[in-house]
Amino acid sequence: MDFRRTYRAAAVSFADLVSRLPADRWDSPGLGDWSLRELVGHTVSSALRQVPDVLATAGDAVKVESPQAYWAFARSAPPELRAAAVAASTEDAREAGAWLGDEAASRVSELTGLATTALAAVRDDDVIVTPAGTMRVRDWLPTRTFELVVHGTDIAAATDLPFEVAPEALAESVTQAAQIAAAVGDAAPVLRALTGRAQLPQDFSVI
């Protein structure tokens, strides 16, 4: 799969979804303790707004070799660091959601354009500095597609709206989830669940 094409497709689908959100639903429940506005804000911040800045960095030796290694890094962090990261993410979600204001659709559309323009200016193997460490562009961008696709489905579930994402982007995200499961030691239970042989525990997640 072409990681550039899947990212662009997921970003465009996400922007379309945001443009269709009812004005009276922004303060309704989104995901967990997050409101819908905070959920959208988190997705915008993590998958769109930061992309041009990260792609503009220059790293040296690659420390994180794959998309699944990026997520495995987060899983392996000490509990206190994970708690701090979750708290920071929640604060960022609130800030980004507030920044979207009443112009969410136009701001998301603008950010989509900025992110895809920045992506066109870098090479697949350029090394960039990400929150998890230095990575190649081709390994980091799929983690942003994953954010767009997963949280796009979260938003759709919270609002009963359809989220039409390109099959290639969805397939890339499903594949990435399976690879994360393997990287963190959960491959066997995930495989058994996907093949109808067992059920996963309640609230199970690979990330």
Per-domain boundaries in the chain? 3-194
pTM: 0.95
Instruction: Judge whether residue 82 has pLDDT over 80.
Output: no
pLDDT over 70 percentage in the chain:
100
Burial of residue 112, with CB atoms counted within 10 A of its CB: 0-12 exposed, 13-18 middle, 19 or more buried: buried
Rounded distance between C-alpha atoms, residue 148 and residue 144, angstroms:
6
Rounded distance between C-alpha atoms, residue 137 and residue 86, angstroms:
25
pLDDT of residue 22: 96
Instruction: Judge whether residue 127 has pLDDT over 80.
Output: yes
The widest CA-to-CA distance across the chain, in whole angstroms, is: 48
If you compute the radius of gyration of the chain from its CA atoms, what whole number of angstroms results?
Answer: 17
pLDDT in tens, 39-48: 999 999 999 9
Superfamily for 3-194? Answer: dinb family like domain (1.20.120.450)
